[in-house]
Chains A and B, each alone.
Chain A
Amino acid sequence: MNPKLGLLERIALGLALTVSLTIALSRSPLWHGADFIAAILDENYATLLDAVPGRPHTTLAFLILIIVIHAGLFVPNRPLLIPSIVTTATLGLAAYPWSVIRWHQVFPDIFGIPRSLGPLDWFFLALPILILIAAAALIQVRATLHHYEGKGIHRADLRPIQLHLTREALLLGGIALGITLAGGILLALATNLPTPNVLRDNPLIVILSAILLVIAGIITGTRLLARHAD
C-alpha cells in the first residue's frame, strides 16, 4: 500500500480541484465589468475568454489552474503545498467582492460589484478546501496503514483500522463543516452590527494586514509550528 499519491490519483485530484476552483472563480461577481482583462489582451486571446456562455473567463482560469495545480502535485514530499497556495489565491480573488477592505480604492484599476452570497456560492467556495482536507486525510491514512504493514501486520488485520480511520475522517470533517457554518452565521450577524467607518477603507488597516501577511509567511517558512513533523 503506497502511502503517497499515485499518478492517476494525482491527475484525478488535480482535475477535481481545478474544476471546483474554476467554478468558484467563475461564479464570482469579480468579473462583472472586468473588461480590462480583454482590453489588455490580443483579439485572438480575447475570444478564449468567452468560450463558455454566461461564464466569463472560465476557460482561461481553467487552463491556468490545471497547469499550476498539476505541476504542484508532483512536487516531491509536499504535493499539497502549491495546491494550497493556489486554492487560497483563487478563493481570495473569487471572494474579493465581499472584502471589507476595498483594495480597488487603494489600487483604482481593480474593482468589483458585490452581491449577496447564496448557499450554492458557499458550497463552491468550500468545496476546494474539502477536497484538499480529504486528500491530506487520505495520504495520512494510507501512510499509517503502510507503517503497520511494514511491521508485518497483514492487510486483512488492518481493515478494521482502515474503516475506523475513514469513519473518523468523515466524522471530523462533518463536525468541522458544522463549526464553519456556525462561524459563518456568527460572522454574518456580526457584520450587521453598526461598525465605525474607521474600519473601512483605511490605509492603516492595509499596512497592518501586510505586516501580518509577512509575519505569517515567516512562521510558515521557518516551520516553527512543525518542529517534530515526521
Chain B
Amino acid sequence: MLTRSGLAVLTLASFLLVAALATGNLVVLTLALLPLSFLILGAAATQPRRIHAELKLPERAVRLGENLLVTVEYEVRGGRGIVELHQPVPGPFLLVSGSNVHVLSKRPGVLRGSYIFTVRATRRGEHIFPPLDWEHMGALGLTGSRKGNAGLGAAMHVRPALRVVRRVPRTSSKGPLMGAEAETSPAGIAGTEFREIRQYQHGDAPKTINWKATARADRRRRHVPTTARHNGPPYPPPDHLIPLVNEYEREGQQHSWIYLDCGPHMRLGTTAENAFEAGVGAAIAVAQYLLARGHRVGFTLYNRKEPLHLYPDVGKRQLFVIQSALAHAEPTDSTGGLAAAVLESKRFLVGTRHRIVVISRAEADHPGLPDGLRLLRRIAGGRRRRAGILLIGIDPYGLIPEAHAGTISARLLVRARQRARHQTIARTGATHLEWDPATTRIEEILHTRRMVQ
C-alpha cells in the first residue's frame, strides 16, 4: 500500500480531480494528470520478480576464536528500487569487519553481485546461519516495502580452541614427579598409528624411509614435471636431498587422566564465556600437551546424567576424539559428583600410575569435589605411592560483566569465604591451581605455577 509520500501525492491529485469535476474545468483536470501519473509511474512495476541468494562459508571446520569469511552471492531479476539484503548471523558470532547488511539500487534488468564480511566464532558447537532476508522498497518509496527470504542458509561447526601448552608444573606429591615434560617417552615402542612424515635424523631405521614422498619432494624442489621426457643433460646430483621417513605414534609409558566438571555451577559467566567454556579450553590444552609427549590419556566428563568416559589412547587421534566429545558437551543440571565418575573409571586407573588432572570450580558449594579427590588419591595412588593430582580451579567471576562497584566487592567477599574450602582441598593431597580465565590464559597459569596455599 501507499506510504506517507505516496498518500501526499495521491491527495494532491485527488484534490485537483475533485476541483476539476466540481467546476468542469478541463485545465485543472489536465493539471491533475501530473501528480496522478507521477504516482502511477512510481508505484507500478517496481517489485522484483525473483531474488536468489547463496551463502558460502569456509569448508573447513572453524575453531573457537577464529575469524571466518562469509560470502553472500545474490541475483535480483526484474523490478527497480532499493533492495536491502540482510544475512542473519547466529548470536555466538561477532561481526569483525564488513557488514552483513547490503543495500543496492536496482534498475530494470538482472543484477548480480556478492558481498563479504568477517565474523568471529565465540562459542563452540553447531550453529545455523538462517536464509538471507531481503526487503524491497520502491524507487521513491511511494508504496510500502516487501519482504522475503532467499537461499537455504548453512550450518557451521565450531570446534573448541586448540592451545599449545609447553609446561605443566610439578605437584607437591612426594611420589613420582608430576612434571610430564620430564617423562616424555622418546624410546617407547613405535606403534601402528601413523603420526607424520618428517626428515631423516640420525638413528632412524632405513626401513622407515618413505621413498615416494622423498621423490616427490625432490621433484618439487627442482621443478621437474612428472610426465616430461628428459632429453637434455643429466640432472644435477642430489646433494641437498634429505630423505623423508614415516613416524608412528609411540606407545607411551605414562598414563594420564583428565576429569572435566559439567555441573550446573559451571554455567557461571555469560553465554559465550563461562566456567565450562574455560574448562573445555583448559582440558584440550592439557590433553594436547600430554598427548604430544606420548602419554596415554583418558578423559571423563562428570556431573552428568551419565558420565562420559573415553578410553585412554595416544596420538592425534585421541586428541581428535576428545575434541569431538567436547564439541557438543554442555553443562548439565546433574550433580552426581566426582566420586561416582571415579568409581566408573576405576578399572582404568588401578594397576598403573596415573597423573590426574581435574578441572572444576574449587569454590563451588558442593561436597562432591573433596570426596572425589580423596577417592582418586586412594585408587590411582595405591598403598605405597601417592598419585599426582592437579586440580585446576576455575574462578569465573571475572567473566561476569562488572555492572557496578558492588560486583567487585562481592567477588572479594566470595573469595575470602572460600579459603576454608581451599584448605579442605589441600588436605586431600591434590595440587590446587587457581585460574582466572578473564585475565590469564591457561598456558600462562600452568607455566608460572601459581598455586593456592
A interface residues with partner B (beta carbon < 8 Å): 77-78, 80-81, 84-85, 87-89, 91-92, 95-96, 98-101, 103, 117, 125-126, 129-130, 132-133, 136-137, 139-141, 143-144, 148, 151-153, 157-158, 160-161, 164-165, 168-169, 172-173, 175-177, 179-180, 183-184, 187-188, 191, 205, 209-210, 212-213, 216-217, 219-220, 223, 225-230
Contacts and interface: CB of A to CB of B under 8 A. Distances in A.
19 contacts: A81-B8, A84-B11, A91-B16, A92-B25, A92-B28, A95-B28, A98-B27, A100-B26, A132-B8, A133-B12, A161-B82, A176-B33, A176-B38, A177-B34, A179-B33, A184-B30, A213-B18, A217-B18, A229-B4
A187 B30 contact: yes
A91 B33 contact: no
A151 B25 contact: no
A15 to B, nearest CB: 19
B21 A212 contact: yes
Interface string B10-30: 111011111101111111111
A220 B34 contact: no
A225 B82 CA distance: 24
Interface in B17-60: 17-19, 21-31, 33-35, 37-38, 41-42
Interface residues of B, number: 51
Contacts of A117: 27
Contact of A136 (B9, B107, B137): B9
**What 6 A-B pairs are tightest by C-beta distance, nearest first?**
A100-B24, A228-B1, A101-B24, A164-B105, A140-B5, A88-B15
Interface string B409-420: 000000000000
Pick from B5, B9, B105 the residue with the most CB of A within 10 Å: B5
B35 A129 contact: yes
B308 interface: no
A103 B3 CA distance: 37
B5 A136 contact: yes
B8 A80 contact: yes
B142 interface: yes
Nearest to A187: B26
Nearest to A215: B18
Contacts of B18: 212-213, 216-217
B23 A103 contact: yes
B103 A153 contact: yes
A165 B139 CA distance: 6
Nearest to A190: B26
A165 B21 contact: no
A103 B103 CA distance: 54
B154 interface: no
A77 B34 CA distance: 24
Given A140-B141, A172-B140, A179 B5 contact: no
